[in-house]
Structure 1
């Protein structure tokens, strides 16, 4: 019988069989962010709609086409967050974090929501790792943000990821650029899509970000922002390129990168892959020096990036990269009878307290079904407990990989088991050089 309820279009289920992939990338991004001195922040999954209109921009695709918005009592409207930066800025201002000194460096791992056509690498609910830095206009900060993104990509072992950078200037130098864009696109206005016709008057730079094939083709010959930068913005961009060169980072200057959100200024960048279908950007970000002031704070330079975790996982899968091996059951107790079940439960709980992954039969199955279950969950060892074992005080511990069995007394069971699990770990994972940390993690200090 078909299910009457299914997951919404454009969403995914992360099942136990594949959740280890999520654990891998989440651990990587946390480790990298904290290595660079960033601290985690968590904000609500929905905000007042006005926050996104003011920050993301009323001409952006996100605001005009993609937001999930609901009405509350009265005239209030709330929107599921389509991106992370605006909510973080609001939280930093509302809670006075901006008054604690600079730079402020935060990161987050969050679900985001956009109503768009689902395709490879693009979902309606997606998960984003993001970082934000507040309080410095120094191009070394731009380079640090880029290097953090690169650190994540390198830590995942990804190949064929190209860094593209650009500068889209400041509000002052964009005035003349906007005028040049209007003149160029106005001459071809009859070919533009309806959305870009509206953008032509309000924000012609948004035309450069249009996904329409026709508009994209027209935009190829449009004026280039780098020709219109003021001296300060040009100097900032040249310094950034020099720093990246000092770091030995390969990059491409791509004047067509403008990003899809209106708050960006000066530096913008993307890490682009050819392995994830139509949407090749794995990570993108840049500066947004005017956003804090726009949302009610003091003028504060700021920058950051967002990285899609689904896209990161998809790229790793396509390139056959390794994920963390999911933790499996260290030992499974197969009891036969009520007394044995009680003993098995106590032994299981004791081993769990010492940090082992231990299980016992809680269904009341026969021995064969229990052995099949132990094999299914990947148990390293199995210990069968019955009346004979309880009476003699001697049990056998079976290595499920080799089939070898080891006798142990119930009184000295833990010591015997620890020895077996250490030997098994050495043989299967080659951890001979990590004996000290391994024994500590396995709870030998508690024996």
Structure 2
């Protein structure tokens, strides 16, 4: 299949490209940018006039609810949502049922991805068996089975010696450790930021220290063990400062932030509306501004969706009793474009945070429009308005605080390895 995407604004941060022109795809690979290869005859021509052509997005943190919770969502439903959002690679957190702690479960993930016709779902292995924090998983075997990293997935690690041994093991096999910093005991089963709003509504609070203390432990052990560490879904000002300082002193670390943390704070919470129940919790306006500055300055490398679809029952009941998480694949791009509109970051920086930088962290040959790379490509109209409702939504989970809102920016075409997997009708 040979494809020309013409007349678009091509933005490829990895190759420092931001220019009008055409992109050429052949045999699932990027064939050329701007200059048509000799003898190139297209099977498909896409007119991208007025639109942006960029690398497909790589989402570092998703939960697709399979295996184990298919009543909430399936690989098929969430792959469809990802394709409609310009996302061509999904990283699956290990807290599935069963947990991704054996090669057999990793193989099952690959089979489910192939059946959903979306093969680029990359499993993250559990750091410890069953995520119980007691016994290390077989990291080398999991890496050989296709796992791209190991993670605690917010499960508590009861013993810092076990965390040290896990990080030494990961470092010895050059495996990335994705740490979601959260001190379980300080969190005390809370559901909102420990502050004015939680106090006003009588909600159990989670202090900022639950994140920063766990993060500090991990930073110390990263220096001790030499482990490559990525901090997932950072939420607080003090975490940004600690990561900035650690990078300054040469630690091999990176970080991402969930897109909703860059727009919502504790003050946006509608009382007792469980759509706002997320972990880590929505924090203060000062935290939000620091997170934005962290993205703009490069302290925070990437933006993730932290996609967590739920069924209706999971979000019913009193706020503390509901399950945390937002269905967020389809709002990832428009909310990132909103940051651009608000001058928090520029367009190339935004696209880099969704494509180039996640690819670099995971060491993937993607996230760029480099000739020879897999043709993972997103075409989107940055000015197209759309409403978040049942007629436009693809995910099986409708748990989002942005329901019924008008957003700007819509994907029109998504190509995964040169295959058209989404076209806006």
Q: Which has the larger radius of gyration?
A: 1
**TM-score normalised to structure 1 length:** 0.23
Identify the structure with the greater helix proportion: 1
- Structure number with the bigger relative contact order (C-alpha 8 A, sep ≥ 6) is 2
